[in-house]
Amino acid sequence: MKILHSSDWHLGRTLFGRRRHDEFAAFLDWLTGVLHERQPDALLVSGDVFDTGTPGVRAQELYYSFLRRAADSPCRHVVITAGNHDSPSFLDAPRALLGALRVHVVGAALPHPSMENPGGPSLREEVITLRDAAGRAELVVCAVPFLRDADLRVSSPGESRQDREVRLREGLLAHYAAVTEEARSRRDAIERAEGTRVPLVIMGHLFTVGGKTMDGDGVRDLYVGSLAAMPASAFAPEASYVALGHLHVPQAVGGREHIRYSGSPLPMGFGEADQQKSVCFAELDADGPARVGLLPVPRFRRLKTLRGGREAILARVTEMIREHEEIWLEIIPDSPSSALRDELEALTKDTRLDILRIRDRVLSDAALYADGAEETLEEMDPHDVFERLLDARRTEEEKRPSLRAAYEELLHEMENADAGPETD
């Protein structure tokens, strides 16, 4: 059994007002080619398919066009789970239709048996059995989407921040344990009925203990504090592979090569500009960890940060103009000035260089600082700023979901307005 693992596409994401549809399209074209060349049996996408819960028309076109092409490829199955950026209901809406194309989607987290209503959905729907062309079971997948606060615990009046973190951790571990137990039962039933043992794979979108992030990658905390981070030891030991999403840096977890973040396929910010992006290719057996390799993703547009004094920056920009390569630039001058801005604008006019930002504004509201550290406003994710404002103003927990939803809608409208009308 061969699988391809990717995550954190963030379709529709902009970078300082610039649309990136061409880069996303190029990545999905490349990924389609990989499906034909490597011929995996399944593609697993572990969350954050879209950048917002209300993706634009072009982002949706890219998504559905790719799924159609994937259905025509040698890859028999696609399994997609929601991330914290995705709208569970939006992903789930075409679930039945996509199922006909062997695309399995789990958008909303399903309740733990202790929390569900009689006759309602159960965790069994997060366990998917993939079958070959002859109808024989070949893989059992624990397709766990991003678990939100309300999926993990019931809030209690007067609970402390530490109590909340403990309950989140308990809920996270309990959910994965319950899904894994259902998968074990499914595997046992397959073995009894078909006389064969199939591999088990776990999908998740979450932080893990020791996970690495990068400056400017847009990754924000999923839960308050660090107690809710998942240790590698909490994943079922019999899992042949654990396909994770949320962290943009490709990495193994806890030194275990078969527990991996594939990372984002594109650099989501200038902090990731020099990072080699990849997708994971794994060969599975029914027993034992998978054999895992990384497939490097090509760079579809160059991002570059220039730091230093005025003369050094102007000299380097002049050199880059001669390279005749399309480059998006971030400028961090030692001494920002309007004169430097004017010089750079004149120098790069009618060239393939595009200066996206010159960093010189410092966030002044001390209530928004993380642990007292200085940050520029441009370095912070807009969602992170909003969450810190909610905390700074001690917003009641029950009011936060509606405020977040309204903020997401406003942010989406602002991003579209900044980038201009979609003509592609």
Give per-residue pLDDT as tens, 285-332: 888 899 999 999 999 999 999 999 999 999 999 999 999 899 999 999
Give, in order, the Cα–Cα distances in Å from 412 to each of 7, 148, 164, 302, 418: 21, 21, 30, 25, 10
Given 296, 311, 329, the domain boundary residue is 296
Domain check: are 69 and 170 in the same one? yes
Query: 47 lies in a domain?
Result: yes
Question: At 191, is the secondary structure helix, strand, or coil?
Answer: helix
Domain check: are 39 and 123 in the same one? yes
Distance CA 263, CA 259 (A): 12
Distance CA 420, CA 196 (A): 56
Give the start-end residues of each E strand in 7-132.
Answer: 14-15, 18-19, 42-46, 77-81, 103-106, 127-131
The residues facing 243 across adjacent strands are 203, 260
Given 254, 279, 296, the domain boundary residue is 296
Query: 64 lies in a domain?
Result: yes
Give per-residue pLDDT as tens, 240-297: 999 999 999 999 998 899 999 999 999 999 988 889 999 999 999 888 899 999 999 9
Query: 130 lies in a domain?
Result: yes
Instruction: Give the pLDDT of residue 422.
Output: 52
Structure tokens at 100: 């006909």
Which portions of the chain are predicted below pLDDT 70? Answer: 111-122, 153-159, 214-228, 360-381, 412-424
Amino acid in position 190: I
Give per-residue pLDDT as tens, 190-207: 999 999 999 999 999 999
Pick from 144, 152, 147: which is nearest to 124 by CA?
A: 144
Structure tokens at 158: 């007067």
Distance CA 332, CA 357 (A): 9
Indicate yes or no: pTM above 0.95.
no
Instruction: Give the pLDDT of residue 335.
Output: 82
Domain range for 47 is: 2-296
Query: 127 lies in a domain?
Result: yes
Domain check: are 32 and 151 in the same one? yes
Distance CA 175, CA 171 (A): 6
- Cβ pair 62, 25 in contact under 8 A: yes
Distance CA 125, CA 361 (A): 48
Query: 424 lies in a domain?
Result: no
Query: 198 lies in a domain?
Result: yes
Distance CA 91, CA 49 (A): 9
Domain check: are 177 and 291 in the same one? yes
Domain check: are 64 and 186 in the same one? yes
Domain check: are 315 and 174 in the same one? no
Residues 385/260/165/54 CA torsion (nearest 10 deg): 40
Residues 6 or more apart from 41 whose CB is under 8 A from it?
1, 2, 3, 75, 76, 77, 130, 132, 138, 139
Question: Could you tell me the CATH number of the domain that includes residue 57?
Answer: 3.60.21.10
Residues 6 or more apart from 182 whose CB is under 8 A from it?
123, 124, 126, 127, 142
Rg (CA), the chain: 23
Distance CA 35, CA 38 (A): 6
Task: Say which DSSP state 401 is in.
Answer: H
Domain check: are 202 and 318 in the same one? no
Count up the domains in the chain and report the number: 2
Work out the number of other CB atoms within 10 angstroms of the CB of residue 37: 11
Instruction: Give the pLDDT of residue 228.
Output: 61
Domain check: are 261 and 239 in the same one? yes
Express the helix, strand and coil content of the chain in percent, nearest 5 each.
35, 20, 40
Domain check: are 312 and 286 in the same one? no
Q: Which residue has the tokens 């019931």?
A: 154
Instruction: Give the pLDDT of residue 399.
Output: 80
Question: Could you tell me the CATH number of the domain that includes residue 394?
Answer: 3.30.160.720
Domain check: are 159 and 292 in the same one? yes
Distance CA 338, CA 305 (A): 19
Domain check: are 34 and 101 in the same one? yes
| φ, ψ for residue 338, nearest 5 deg | -65, -30
Given 296, 313, 338, the domain boundary residue is 296
Query: 377 lies in a domain?
Result: yes
Instruction: Give the pLDDT of residue 225.
Output: 43
> Which uninterrupted H or E stretch holds 195?
none
Work out the number of other CB atoms within 10 angstroms of the CB of residue 34: 19
Domain check: are 257 and 179 in the same one? yes
